[in-house]
Amino acid sequence: MHTVTANGASIPALGFGTFRMSGPDVLRMVPEALKLGFRHIDTAQIYGNESEVGEAIKASNLPRGEVFLTTKVWVSNYKADDFRRSVDESLAKLRTDYVDLLLLHWPNEAVPLAEQIESLNAVRAAGKTRHIGVSNFNRTLLDESVRLSKAPIVTNQIEYHPYLDQSVMLEAARRHGQSITAYYAMADGKVFKDPVLTDIAARLGKSAAQVVLRWLVQQEGVIALSKTVGEKRAAENLAIFDFELSEADMAAIHGLARPDGRIVSPDGLAPAWD
């Protein structure tokens, strides 16, 4: 597996995500993912499974420094005192004294962005996270976060799959020396039946999922999150570093983007998307 370097952070290009994953599934799958060779685990306060993620990483017997661990602060915890308390609670659940990356999960206009960024920086200065970032930010919020932050913002975790053009956000991230971390790569399963993707997959002897994950990590500065509750699929998702997509294949997949391609845009959380 290769890594993505962004503003001083070295992040494994393929992560194992735990969104909407039950505690028992986390306890079963995270150790298996780490055994297979995943070294990047992604969770969040709102997922309700940080305790199981922490238990699973401990059960793997891997040294803490070998696992890149990301969690996210939920929007109701953005006030400074709540922020610090919630991070300490996350660390206790995760059974660690630091995470590798701490993100603001969604924008929240109820708390000034300057206060949110100041809290991120304070937690980093206290050694509770090695790196900081954001999630689901548009270009305006991203630019303002960079302006406000003493420490570098290393990633913006956003929805990204073949049906959603994220060129604007990719350009913004690259301008700031950041990475993009892509979630919802499978577009709620739409990729599995897409003829463009299945044709490329058949020609290469790969699956459509492998083609999509390869398309993501083959782009400069892009990290992909994969998620599955099946051991066989986890191994398949990891096997994307032994082939490359041609320029024509990359272009064909980019060509699947459409104006209504966005899937995740919850009322009360989503910003004005670029």
User: In the structure encoding, which two tokens stand for residue 63, read together?
Assistant: 């040294």
pLDDT at 134: 98
Decide if pLDDT at 175 tops 80: yes
What is the widest separation between alpha-carbon atoms in the chain?
A: 55
Closest to 134 (Cα-Cα) out of 170, 64, 181 = 181
Chain segment 13-54, per-residue pLDDT in tens:
999 999 999 999 999 999 999 999 999 999 999 999 999 999
Is 163 among the catalytic positions?
Answer: no
Average per-residue pLDDT for the chain: 98
Is 16 strand, coil or helix? strand
Q: If you search the block for the tokens 């270009």, which residue do you land on?
A: 139
pLDDT at 1: 75
- Whether 149 and 120 have beta carbons less than 8 Å apart is answered as yes
pLDDT-based confidence at residue 177 (cuts at 50, 70, 90): very high
Decide if pLDDT at 136 tops 90: yes
Task: Write out the binding residues.
Answer: 105
- Whether 133 and 102 have beta carbons less than 8 Å apart is answered as yes
Give pTM, 2 decimals: 0.98
pLDDT-based confidence at residue 135 (cuts at 50, 70, 90): very high
The runs of H, that is alpha helices, within 218-246 are 231-238
Chain segment 62-112, per-residue pLDDT in tens:
999 999 999 999 999 999 999 999 999 999 999 999 999 999 999 999 999
User: In the structure encoding, which two tokens stand for residue 13, read together?
Assistant: 């290009």
Q: If you search the block for the tokens 């976060």, which residue do you land on?
A: 145
Candidates 47, 78, 163, 183; catalytic one? 47
Q: Which residues contact 188 (CB under 8 A, 6 or more apart)?
A: 263
For the chain, give the percent of residues with pLDDT over 70.
Answer: 100
**263-270 contacts, C-beta under 8 A, 24 or more apart:** 263/159, 263/161, 263/164, 263/184, 263/187, 263/188, 264/136, 264/159, 264/183, 264/184, 266/106, 269/75, 269/106, 269/107, 269/108, 269/136, 270/106, 270/107, 270/136
Mean pLDDT of 186-208: 98
Task: Write out the binding residues for substrate.
Answer: 105
DSSP conformation class of 152: P
> What domains lie within the chain, and their CATH numbers?
3-254 (3.20.20.100)
- Whether 133 and 153 have beta carbons less than 8 Å apart is answered as yes
